[in-house]
Amino acid sequence: MTTLFPFDHSPLYEPTILGIAVIAVLAPQVVLVWTFARTVRQRLAATRLADAAGRREAAKQVPAEVVLCLRGADEGLEDVFASLAAQQHAAWRLQVVVDSRDDPAWEIAERSITAAEEAGTASWSAATLEPLAQRPQAGSLKCASLRQAIGRLAESTEVVALLDADTRPPAEWLATLVEAVRRPGVGAVSGNRWYEPAVVTPAAMVRALWNAGAVVQMTAFGIPWGGSLAIRREAIVESRLAEVIEHTLCEDTALAEPLRRAGWKYRFEPAIFSIQHDGDLALVSLTRWIARQLLTARLHHPAWPLVLTHAVSSSLVLIACLAAALAAAIDGAGVEASANLGLFAGYEIVSLLMALAIRRSVLSAVPTERLPAHVGTATAPAWLAWIPLTQLVYATAALKAVAARSVEWRGIRYRIGRGAVFPIEEPTLLPTPKPVSAGR
């Protein structure tokens, strides 16, 4: 029989070689997922011990400020203010910086703050609402807003907490952050977000699956999440955070390295996981959103080469399995074709098991009363069915992040320089409401 390749068992579709490649790509991921699950268990146990020792109750007396930077009226913004008003913390202030007085978020913020204070339900001791005073020549508008807030912290403030407009903090959120960040040597703590699909659509499943992997990587590589982040006042000063974010796209990914250089540790705190609103999103828009998340790592975090390697290698090895199976089938090598298809299927099944393990760990950190009613809508077969598309979108987004020379975020386009971004378009008002990811 004439074969496609002039030798038997061509290395181009030899299952043994591809099997080694599959194991080489999967093994580090399995280790990271196991480490993540162990970290979640250990830190939840530490949080329970802190509660038993009364440390969270004591933390409620620590002066803190919550900074909320707004551009555009996100869906459910009123709920964010209602959640903030219900915080169980004795000594805290609220700073809200809005893109401008004409921004649709301004009216919502003003109305929500006033209503809570007039009803006597506001737990903050003081609240300020200000527009962004000056448009930045470099760096994002959000970083400019944060720099403005840092410059106006009360003298007594010891901890600064950052919150995104799509995060609904539970009543113990601020106290949990403050207790965790005041542990010895810790300069910053954050939780992370989790997407639990309410409906099984391509975009919802891809976002949930990609985010599951991202949560593990962020934990392993020490990448904070700004949607629920607390920083010690002295760590802000010693890391020179206000200067660092003067040119950056975001504040969270850019925080890790200056924090480390200043001698402070970042700590992931699973007790403050946030179940995110699962709004409608087209697959093309989702790919751009993922690319923007990856771009922040490229610009601001030393672990970017590892993130990129994972994105590319996990897709290449699967493409190689399918290509080898096809080549073997054309050559009439049925055993090799079946073996390579088996490698592909095995990779995806292991990926499913890892995703389910991550999900189990995350949901174990969220109290039952905070879980959405639609938990479990997406079954294991649904998760498995969308893993290949997720891997394709992930690789595409990673390549887009590598090639990006500009990026659009909340209606503003930024030119990308070396470790910096520069606004190149005059900001326009965002419509209201606009269900977008406020975090990034």
User: What integer pLDDT is reported at residue 107 of this predicted model?
Assistant: 95
- Write phi, then psi, for 427 (nearest 5 degrees): -60, 140
Pairing of strands 265-268, 186-190: parallel
Tens digit of pLDDT for each residue in 106-124?
A: 999 999 999 999 999 999 9
Asked if the model's pLDDT at residue 147 lies above 60, the reply is yes
Tens digit of pLDDT for each residue in 254-284?
A: 999 999 999 999 999 999 999 886 667 789 9
User: What integer pLDDT is reported at residue 50 of this predicted model?
Assistant: 87
> Domains of the chain (ranges plus CATH)?
46-291 (3.90.550.10)
The DSSP annotation for 19-31 comes to HHHHHHHHHHHHH
- Mean pLDDT over 388-406 rounds to 94
Instruction: Assign 3-state DSSP to the chain and report helix, strand, coil percentages, each to 5.
Output: 50, 15, 35
Tell which residue, 72, 137, 140, 145, has the closest CA to residue 106: 72
Tens digit of pLDDT for each residue in 51-91?
A: 888 888 999 999 999 999 999 888 889 999 999 999 999 98
Tens digit of pLDDT for each residue in 350-382?
A: 999 999 999 999 999 998 888 877 777 788 998
Residue 38 CB partners (closer than 8 Å, separation 6+)? none
| 3-state secondary structure at position 187 | strand
